[in-house]
Amino acid sequence: MSQPHLRTVVVLAAGEGKRMKSALPKVLHPLLGRTLLGHVLAAAAPLAADRTVVVVGHGADQVRGHLAEVAPEATPVLQERQLGTGHAVRIALDAVPEVTGTVVVINGDVPLLRPETVAALVEAHEGAGAAATVLAAEVPDPTGLGRIVRDADGRLAQIVEERDATPEQRALREINAGIYAFDVARLRDALGKLSTDNDQGEEYLTDVFGLLRDAGEPVAVHCAPDHVETLGCNDRVELAGLRRLLRDRVNEGWMRTGVSILDPHTTWIDVTVRVERDAVIDQNTQLQGATVVGAGAIVGPDTTLIDTTVGEGASVVRSHATGAEVGPRATVGPFAYLRPAAKLAEKAKVGTFVEVKNSEVGPGAKVPHLSYVGDATIGARANIGAATIFVNYDGVKKSRTVVGEAAFVGCDTSLIAPVEVGAGAYIAAGSAISQDVPPGALGVTRAPQRAIEGWVARKRAGTVSAEAAERAREGASGEAGAASEGD
Ligand code: UD1
Ligand code: CA
């Protein structure tokens, strides 16, 4: 007990998950910011295992690729044919013959499992010096799950799969969650004795418990504090149910740290997101990936933020952002679209129907309406008029536009990159600017206005426009006549 135990984690992830009806292996289905497998690995992370082995089979290449991204320290071990959970663990342990101490085995499809629960299971197991300990839970509906069968003294007798169970055993509601701690030496020994004498003709890991007990080894049951943690995922309906449960858990967590979530049922926050105090998340909002929402910021309603940082006191209303940075006290939306590398400095404004990509909008600068800002640097306090387009693409390459500090760009301007508008320069509304405008100059490209008198009467005779023009002309001459008469 005094010696620290070496620990190895084995995650079983070789199954196909037939009922998911998917080209994607079951364990790679996403759930609020991580895959099912990612959640399981995160639950095991605080064990600080010396080795993590993931048994792969169906979609092995995809699962290996995912592991390389999210858990490069884990060792994938191939189980070519899925001959049962016992077979899977045997193959995993064959790949790490040197390990001693405790082996924690976790089914790859229990994403709601909490790290505290895994840690408590392992501590109970090691503390008791058990040969094997299973995590169990009382569930309302045990259909399809292995049952914990206890003896007259209430001790674990065996774990029986539903299809092999007697009617009395089927009536038990205490189930095997599919999470275990084992003493590796005794586990190896028992795995060597597994039979395939069961309804599926597979090697069941669960049979290890009966074998160890019959050999006089101490086996134990550890009860999960909340059966919800042990819920597995077999089809997409169950996956949606797990997603709702995790959503509620995540939202509750943030509310308890001082975040206001106005409608928790329509707010979906990935487990990878961070939200600071006094932020307000309004309804129908999704916060995803590496998103961070700063203190006192307002996000939503109807907003999706992916890998986006929102500064303190900023607001993002009815908008979509991905890979963007919104500075402190900046305002975004309603109906804005921020794309990767859109960087809004402090108090910048990006307003209605504005799209920003790979651009810096300086402190206090404003792009209030109907604009596209691509590959631009906009200086502090510059004002970009409605319907300004940063023309960044000539059909072959993209170029940058620089707008200086406190420049004023009139409405309906095209800034044709590469081009620079100097500090404090003005651009006349309706211009197409393709040459640099010096600081403080007025840039203007409008053709002089002409009025071709009588054009509508000649070219559009008989239209409502021609009639209206005629009435206006008569009215004007009548008024002119009356005025001269009265003079
Ligand atoms: C298993 C347990 C059952 C428990 C349930 C909890 C066994 C025999 N039964 O049943 O008592 O109540 O989990 O969810 O263990 N896998 C492999 N290789 C294989 C077979 C399975 O890697 O050859 C993986 C699967 O991908 C899955 C996990 O092991 O992640 C569990 O397998 P599954 O077939 O889902 O077992 P259950 O029938 O659910
Ligand atoms: Ca299962």
Q: What is the mean pLDDT of residues 171-180?
A: 98
Least confident stretch, 9-13, 27-31, 104-108, 482-486: 482-486
Strand-pair partners of 267: 285
Residue keyed to tokens 């997101």 = 273
* Residue pair 172/150 in contact by the 8 Å Cβ criterion: no
pLDDT band at 486 (very low <50, low <70, confident <90, very high): very low
Q: What is the mean pLDDT of residues 300-323?
A: 98
Q: Which CATH number fits domain 7-230: 3.90.550.10, 3.40.50.720, 3.60.60.10, 3.30.230.10?
A: 3.90.550.10
pLDDT digits (tens, 9 = 90+) for 321-338: 999 999 999 999 999 999
Q: Which residue has the CA at smallest separation from atom 25 of ligand 1?
A: 15
pLDDT band at 481 (very low <50, low <70, confident <90, very high): low
**Ligand 1 within 6 A of 88 CB?**
yes
Q: What is the mean pLDDT of residues 109-119?
A: 97
pLDDT band at 482 (very low <50, low <70, confident <90, very high): low
Within 10 Å of residue 191's Cβ, how many Cβ atoms?
22
d(CA 79, CA 99): 19
pLDDT digits (tens, 9 = 90+) for 219-232: 999 999 999 999 99
Q: Coil, helix or strand for 190?
A: helix
* Residue pair 251/270 in contact by the 8 Å Cβ criterion: no
Tell which residue, 424, 433, 439, 473, has the closest CA to residue 453. Answer: 473
16 pLDDT higher than 90 = no
Q: What is the mean pLDDT of residues 362-367?
A: 98
Q: Which pair of tokens denotes residue 24?
A: 């994607």
Atom of ligand 1 nearest to the CA of 146: 11
The sign of the CA dihedral 220, 141, 55, 241 is: negative
**Ligand 1 within 6 A of 204 CB?**
yes
d(CA 424, CA 414): 18
Ramachandran area for residue 465 (φ above 0: left; ψ -120 to 50: alpha; else beta): alpha
pLDDT band at 2 (very low <50, low <70, confident <90, very high): very low
pLDDT band at 478 (very low <50, low <70, confident <90, very high): confident
Neighbouring residues of 487: CB distance < 8 A, sequence distance ≥ 6: none
Q: Which residue has the CA at smallest separation from atom 22 of ligand 1?
A: 14
The sign of the CA dihedral 370, 355, 309, 382 is: negative
Least confident stretch, 13-17, 78-82, 111-115, 424-428: 13-17
- CA angle 13/16/22 to nearest 5° reads 120
Least confident stretch, 125-129, 346-350, 446-450: 446-450
pLDDT digits (tens, 9 = 90+) for 248-292: 999 999 999 999 999 999 999 999 999 999 999 999 999 999 999
The string of DSSP codes covering 387-406 is: T-EEE-B-SS-B--EEE-TT
Strands 147-150 and 34-35: unpaired
pLDDT band at 23 (very low <50, low <70, confident <90, very high): very high
Q: Which of 35, 107, 158 to mutate to test the pocket of ligand 1 (most atoms within 8 A of CB)?
A: 107
pLDDT digits (tens, 9 = 90+) for 182-219: 999 999 999 999 999 999 999 999 999 999 999 999 99
- Sketch the domain layout of the chain as residue ranges: 7-230, 258-443
Ligand nearest to the CA of 139: 1
Tell which residue, 175, 226, 166, has the closest CA to residue 199. Answer: 166
Q: What is the mean pLDDT of residues 137-149?
A: 96
* Residue pair 433/424 in contact by the 8 Å Cβ criterion: no
Q: Ligand 2 centre and the CA of 247: distance in Å? A: 22
d(CA 183, CA 99): 11
pLDDT digits (tens, 9 = 90+) for 66-104: 999 999 999 999 999 999 999 999 999 999 999 999 999
Distance, CA of 262 to chain centre: 20
Tell which residue, 330, 423, 436, has the closest CA to residue 379. Answer: 423
For domain 258-443, the question of CATH label 2.60.40.10 is answered with no
5 has catalytic annotation = no
DSSP state of 156: E
Q: What is the mean pLDDT of residues 365-392?
A: 98
